[in-house]
């Protein structure tokens, strides 16, 4: 992945699971946006959009297309473009491609969603690093849902960057 990036420039879709320090990549995306539009870095954050199945060969003007995530405790429905119940005996499912779209937080859109924690590993635990970040928790993804927050919390739903096996 990194050699292709060096040889041919940044990809149109970033394999989020491939980054050792995901926070640095995400901070870089926010910094590029803040510099481009001259916003204070503390005023910007991400708006998330799950994308329909397809090819994403052209980079977005702002933000980043990402893939490589998995859902634990639910699955993504392309038919309704929302979270839905897992199939029986299926623990993990691939998550849809997403765009992490930087926005000024005061202008971030609102929609029915589940604040889904994204972890680096399935262990869901970690220690605070010297940067103040958890060594495992990355951020909360706002994923469209017709169910309440509690519905998904009771099922232990999260997103993962890597699976145990």
pLDDT for 141 equals: 96
- Judged against a pLDDT cut of 70, whether residue 71 lies above it is answered with yes
Tell me the fold of 2-160: Hypothetical upf0131 protein ytfp (3.10.490)
Give the integer Cα–Cα distance in Å for 86 and 127: 30
Digit-coded pLDDT (tens) for 16-59: 998 888 989 999 999 999 999 999 999 999 999 999 999 999 99
pLDDT for 140 equals: 94
- Calculate mean pLDDT across residues 55-84: 95
The burial class, CB within 10 Å (0-12 / 13-18 / 19+), for 101 is buried
With beta carbons less than 8 A apart as the criterion, state whether 152 and 144 touch: no
Give the integer Cα–Cα distance in Å for 91 and 35: 41
Digit-coded pLDDT (tens) for 134-149: 678 899 999 999 999 9
- What ranges do the domains of the chain cover? 2-160
- Calculate mean pLDDT across residues 65-74: 96
Digit-coded pLDDT (tens) for 97-146: 999 999 999 988 889 999 999 999 888 776 666 666 667 889 999 999 99
């Amino acid at each position: 992945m990194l050699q292709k990036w060096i040889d041919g420039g940044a990809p149109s879709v970033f394999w989020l699971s491939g980054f050792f320090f995901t926070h640095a990549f995400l901070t870089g995306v926010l910094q590029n946006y803040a510099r481009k539009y001259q916003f204070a870095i503390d005023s910007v954050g991400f708006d998330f959009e799950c994308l329909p199945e397809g090819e994403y060969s052209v980079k977005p003007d702002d933000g980043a297309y990402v893939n490589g995530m998995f859902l634990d405790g639910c699955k993504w429905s392309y038919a309704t473009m929302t979270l839905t119940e897992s199939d029986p005996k299926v623990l993990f499912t691939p998550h849809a491609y997403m765009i992490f779209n930087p926005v000024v937080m005061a202008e971030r859109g609102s929609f029915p969603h589940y604040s889904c924690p994204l972890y680096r590993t399935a262990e869901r635990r970690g220690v605070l690093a010297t940067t103040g970040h958890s060594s495992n928790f990355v951020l909360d993804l706002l994923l469209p849902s017709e169910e309440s927050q509690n519905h998904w919390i009771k099922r232990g739903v999260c997103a993962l960057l890597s699976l145990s096996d």
